[in-house]
């Protein structure tokens, strides 16, 4: 459904992401792993249009979108929860969500996925716990009714139990039909909910395969994380 073919993305004149191809199916979770600086955020920003791609094709439901502006990609059904995205702290939970609603739409879907937010509906978002704020951030992205959802570092700074809760919600979203591309520091936890996994090292895909199989192969995972190339790790 989201297909990425040979995409290269640069920053400040440097090539950061090199010829990446990957696929995110509808109703699935695809996890993108990689060490700090591997290029995960740069890739996601290139996919959503936050920064331009230098070459390659990005298709959403078969339609090339790499030349569209970011808001048009969002309109076409591609949502992006950016790394370090925050809530509007002074605004209530409800107003944060209303601001992201399409005309005539309600935020009910978000409260179904995250009932935790219901009792906080009138609270200023800045007073929510870190986990609840992240639920709100993910919730806002859902209100555009995305087909594909890119999530960059959902769990940064959160307690493991909260991360597990968010992971379960992401899995539920995928089971409801959304194709999720998840970048996550907690590799094991992300792989637990993953259908497919890719590992990026120095801007290149060095591994792709079944998420649960990679979860079970700690040696391979460690080797890939250390930035190994396919030949070094025998993949
Ligand atoms: N604005 C920028 N200008 C130039 N280079 C950048 C910029 N932002 C990031 N980089 C470089 O691009 C490379 C990839 O960074 P990126 O943030 O995409 O990696 P990442 O995999 O998301 O890392 P992390 O796990 O730390 O979030 C790094 O070498 C980084 O130093
Ligand atoms: Mg990043």
Mean pLDDT to the nearest integer, 82-102: 93
For residue 29, the domain's CATH number is: 3.40.50.300
Residue 182 lies in a domain: yes
Residue 197 has pLDDT above 70, yes or no: yes
Please indicate, yes or no, whether the overall pTM of this predicted structure exceeds 0.85: yes
111 in any annotated domain: yes
Q: Which domain holds residue 90?
A: 2-226
Give the number of whichever ligand sits closest to the CA of residue 83: 2
Q: What is the residue-averaged pLDDT of the chain?
A: 92
Count of structural domains within the chain: 1
Tell whether 235 is covered by a domain: no
Tell me whether residue 107 is in a domain.
yes
Which DSSP string corresponds to 113-156? H-GGGGGGTTSBGGGS-HHHHHHHHHHHHHTT--SEEEEE-TTT
Reported confidence tier of residue 228, pLDDT bands at 50, 70, 90 = low
231 part of a folded domain: no
Top mutation candidate among 17, 34, 42, 183 for ligand 1, by most atoms within 8 Å of CB: 42
Residue 74 within a domain: yes
Give the tens place of pLDDT for each residue, 106-140: 999 999 999 999 999 999 999 999 999 999 999 99
Beta bridge partners of 31: 182, 197
Domain-located, residue 232: no
Residue 87 forms part of a structural domain: yes
Return the structure tokens found at 73. 């990609």
The torsion angles phi and psi of 165, rounded to 5 degrees, stand at -65, -45
**Atom in ligand 1 nearest the alpha carbon of residue 45:** 18
Pocket test for ligand 1, best of 41, 190, 198, 206 (most atoms within 8 A of CB): 41
């Amino acid at each position: 459904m989201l297909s990425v073919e040979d995409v290269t993305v640069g920053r400040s004149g440097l090539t950061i992401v090199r010829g990446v191809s990957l696929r995110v199916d509808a109703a699935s979770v695809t996890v993108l792993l990689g060490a700090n600086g591997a290029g995960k955020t740069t890739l996601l920003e290139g996919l959503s249009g936050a920064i331009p791609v230098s070459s390659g094709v990005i298709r959403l439901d078969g339609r090339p979108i790499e030349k569209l502006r970011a808001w048009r990609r969002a309109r076409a059904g591609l949502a992006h929860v950016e790394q370090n995205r925050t809530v509007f702290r002074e605004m209530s939970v409800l107003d944060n969500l209303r601001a992201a609603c399409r005309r005539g739409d309600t935020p009910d879907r978000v409260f179904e996925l995250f009932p935790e937010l219901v009792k906080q509906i009138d609270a200023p978002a800045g007073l929510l716990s870190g986990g609840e704020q992240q639920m709100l951030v993910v919730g806002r992205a859902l209100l555009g009714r995305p087909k594909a959802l890119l999530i960059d570092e959902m769990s940064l700074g959160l307690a493991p139990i909260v991360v597990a809760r968010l992971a379960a919600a992401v899995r539920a979203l995928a089971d409801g039909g959304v194709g999720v591309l998840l970048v996550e520091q907690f590799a094991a936890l992300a792989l637990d909910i993953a259908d497919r996994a890719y590992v990026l090292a120095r801007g290149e895909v060095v591994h792709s395969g079944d998420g649960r199989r990679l979860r079970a192969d700690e040696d391979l995972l460690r080797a890939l994380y250390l930035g190994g190339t396919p030949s070094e790790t025998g993949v």
